[in-house]
Amino acid sequence: MVLELNTENFAAAIASGICLVDFWADWCGPCRMLAPIIDEIAKENMDITVGKLNVDDHPELAGKYNVMSIPTLLFFKDGQLKDNSVGVVSKNVLQRKIDALK
């Protein structure tokens, strides 16, 4: 399941374990292309947290993490930013990044 993240639940979502956060926007074509891949990652990795954060609704969080382009994926482990990916990438690339954090 992909969580809808916002300023209220973001810190708790990344606080423990592995968390993948998709910074996206409704108007972003590449974000829409990446969405099914994010859904698959969430279904196949039930031991991690997968969330989406709309940058239009929460620009302060995008700014905090220097998100300049979308889609941007940030990989957290126990609250610490460990890796990132910008643009549309394959499921295999994302899975390798997740596996490296496990």
Catalytic residues: 28, 31
SS3 call for 47: coil
Q: Which of 92, 57, 52 is nearest to 71 (CA)?
A: 52
Classify burial at 7, counting beta carbons within 10 Å of its beta carbon; exposed 0-12, middle 13-18, buried 19 or more.
exposed
Q: Name the residue with tokens 């989406």.
A: 52
